[in-house]
Amino acid sequence: MMARPKVAFICIHNSCRSQIAEALGKYYAGDVFESYSAGTEIDSSIDSDAVRLIKEIYGIDMEKTQYPKTVDELPRIDIKISMGCGASCPRLHADASEDWGLEDPRGRGDEAIRAVIRCIDLKINELMDRLRQ
């Protein structure tokens, strides 16, 4: 059996979008790929609104299983997914990369975070389907 690819979700602060993607990657696709997240200027904790909403929607407590980390703490990555930080996105070598172009919803209220969660949910499922083929 081939090893599952390692997928890293990358944004600058590793506190909201990338953490949501890591959580949903583990939730949906743990049998298809390994999920990681990281950044360069990490915050001390995961965004509290994101934590609350992911717990409310999926029953996942991100604070129990995840923490903000830098890209140098990651294992060798097969697929790098930038969350939408453009030119300022952390550099990380990977065999493949893509940019999901998601706007940072922090501080913009629950509906903005919910919209990003829905988008990440869809993209995680699309990625899982592509990697299964």
Q: What is the pLDDT of residue 3?
A: 85
Which residue among 7, 10, 11, 20 is the active-site one? 11
Which residue, chain included where needed, has tokens 């996105």?
89
Q: What is the pLDDT of residue 41?
A: 85
Which residue among 85, 117, 119, 128 is the active-site one? 85
Q: What is the pLDDT of residue 101?
A: 93
* 11 a catalytic residue: yes
Low-confidence ranges of the chain (pLDDT < 70): 1-2, 86-90
Taking the C-alpha atoms of residue 108 and residue 127, their distance in angstroms, rounded to an integer, is 27
- The residue ranges of every structural domain in the chain are 6-132
* 16 a catalytic residue: no
Taking the C-alpha atoms of residue 68 and residue 15, their distance in angstroms, rounded to an integer, is 6
Distances (CA, A) of 109 to 8, 25, 104, 114: 26, 23, 11, 9
Q: What is the pTM of this model?
A: 0.95
Architecture of domain 6-132: 3-Layer(aba) Sandwich (3.40)
Q: What is the pLDDT of residues 27-53, one digit of tens each?
A: 999 999 999 999 988 889 999 999 999
Which residue among 89, 102, 120, 128 is the active-site one? 89
